[in-house]
Amino acid sequence: MALSTPPADPTEYVGLAQAYLLFDSPGDGAEAFSLVRSSDLPPRDCLDAFFDTGDEGHAG
């Protein structure tokens, strides 16, 4: 699926979505997080370089 906003700046969904469990209902002052990354790498290489590091789930 290709997305474009604005049309001169095309983006592509590469099949990765992340979510976090909220312990309480969101209310005033709740924070939301989103990440948009620009890369000249092909989609699979971009995922491997920035998200599939081998350290997922391990504390620093």
The residues, ordered by sequence, that sit 6+ positions from 14 with a Cβ below 8 Å of its Cβ are 43, 44, 46, 47
**Residue linked to tokens 């604005």:** 6
pTM (2 d.p.): 0.50
> For 1-59, how does the pLDDT look when each residue is reduced to its tens digit (9 = 90+)?
555 555 566 677 888 887 778 888 888 887 777 777 788 888 888 888 888 777 766 65
